Structure formats: structure tokens, C-alpha cells
Amino acid sequence: MRVLVTGGAGFVGSHTCVALLEAGHEVAVVDSLENSSEAAIDGVARATGCRPHFKVADCRDTKKLEQIFKEVQPAVVLHFAGLKSVAESMADPLRYYQHNIGTTAVLLAVMQRCEVFQIVFSSSAAVYGAPHELPVAEEAPAQPTNPYGTTKLLIEQMIRDITFADPRWSAVVLRYFNPVGAHPSGLMGEDPEGMPANLMPYLLQVAVGRRASLPVYGIDYPTHDGTALRDYIHVMDLAEGHLAAMGYLQDAPKGTHTFNLGTGRATSVLELLRAMRHVTGVKLPYEIRGRRPGDVAELWANPEKAERELGWRATRTLEDMCRDGWAWQSQNPAGYSYRRAGYNPAD
């Protein structure tokens, strides 16, 4: 199929482009590059031997987006574009509401005008907040504890309302947990702008010498070692989940269908730290800090619905996640910043 990927130069979006191209789909990417790099598209091209059609544009720009849709004529949209830091959303909630909800509202309106009625939306387990029961299933109450999670939940509701109002629409909402790792080639990976907001990229930057130590936010949680528990999922497992969702849309009943993408296993901050030490052979010093606002103690998935209905499950281990993340960071100590220095590793 012809697929338009919004935010396709970002971490999960770029790895999903690899999976799409390897499966034989035609891929076009639109990305504002606000928190990503065109170098990720170079990585996709080097990993697959095929470069996606790429356009730089903000998805809130209706005119540009309409031009892209007319040029690409996609059959389905994979929607990743958006801001994703919990801590940043707590500090600047208005930016998150304007960006995440505004982007999706314009995208859905353009899709409707261009008669493209299939979408896979990149949502988040942050919509669950602090769950009453673990592992958390799709039927659990959605009670986000931060503006980032709230924007994801509001977007989910927008999509449900549209698919309910117009039977031509069908959508899959993927609530994924904590994407980590990288493409096993080391050609592409996660490269956040500035200070990393997530554990794995921060840990990798400590391992490669870019940071002095890892801040551990809270060691007094009611967990077995006092640190927060999360469901870490390899980004390539996640990418394959999007392929499964696209296939599901072709025969699914109309409406919105929601799935968790996770491993169903909980890993603490200190357990991930030890796994990374084992893979890298680096000491990885850390320092204890207070809890961050908006964080919850424990969150991991019940992924049974995705396995049952999508035919998908995560297969890669925590060691795979650490090894592939290290392959990326050790080969690219400065991440994608070589583009700013005018250096192309393909030369």
C-alpha cells in the first residue's frame, strides 16, 4: 500500500518506515524536524536500500498538508507526529495542547477532504495514569496524570467520534508502553534534542561518555527495589505492531479499535541499569533524586488482545534492547549531530 507516515523522522516513526519498506509498501514521510533529524531518513535508506519520499512540513499547515496528500495519494496514514515528554508537558502544558491536538485536528480534516479514511494512531500507555489493576488492559479506566497523557486521550476521543459519525472511517489506536533499543544495524536509533527525558537514551549517553551519571528519579516507590517499574518494548517489535495494525484495518469492522503494545513484563530502573552494564561493560554511575511530577510507580501491559486479534506479540528481550541501543550509540556517540557538522557517515 501507499502509506503516509507523519513524524516519520522521529524515533518510532523512522523504525516503522524500515518495517514498512521491508514489507514492500510505498512510504512517504512528513515531519517538521522540530524534534527530529532528516538523518533518520538517511538511516532508513541505508538500512533498507530504499529512501522514503520525504517532505518537511508542520502538519498544522493545512495548505502544505493538502499538497502532500494530493502528491502522495496514500491509502492509509500512520500518525506519529507530536511532542512526547511527560516532564516538558508538566512545565508547558499549553504547548502540548496546541501542538498535539492541533496537529491531529488538521490532519483528520485534510484526510477527510482527500477521502483517506484509514488511520493508525500512535497513542501511549500514559493515558492510563496510575492503574488500579496490573497488568493494565485496554478496558482499564483512562486517568492520565500529566498533560502529555491527556493530549493522547483527547486525540483518541477525537478519532472515536469521527469514526462513529462517519462509517467510511476505520482506525486503530496503539497504546504503547516504553519504546527502547534501536535498529540492530546501529544505523539509526533514538537521539533526543537536549537533555533526554527518557531513561534508555540518558543511560546510553552516560555509557558513551556524554553524561556524567544517570539521575534516578525516586527510590522510595512501593516496588521491590524502590524504583519505578515500566514495560520496555523494543522499537522494532513496536514497528512490527504497526504493520499488524495496518493489516488488521483492511478487514476490520468500521470504527476505532484500541490495542496495547507491550511485553507484559515489568522492569525497574535499576534492573535496566544492570542489564545495560552487562551489555556495555561500562560502570554507569547514577545519583538518586526526588520523584518527578506526573510519574507513576508501576505500569506494564496486558498485551493479550493484540496477540489474539492482531496476531502480534513482542519477541525481543531486554538484552536485545540494550544490545541494539548500544550498537546505535557506540557507533554514533553524538547521535545524528553529524549533519550539523557537515559530516555524512555514508561518505
Q: So which residues are the catalytic ones?
A: 148
DSSP string, 77-137: EEE--S---HHHHHH-HHHHIIIIIHHHHHHHHHHHHTT--EEEEEEEGGGG-S-SSSSBP
Q: Return all residues near 242 (Cβ < 8 A) that are at least 6 apart.
A: 16, 19, 20, 78, 120, 174
Buried b (16+ CB within 10 A) or exposed e, 224-234: eebbbbbbbbb
Q: Which of 207, 202, 177, 206 is nearest to 191 (CA)?
A: 202
Place of cell 540518558: 202
Q: What is the C-alpha separation between 183 and 174, in angstroms, rounded?
A: 20
* Radius of gyration, CA atoms only, the chain: 19
Decide if 21 contacts 29 (C-beta within 8 A).
Answer: no
Residue 190 grid cell: 533514538
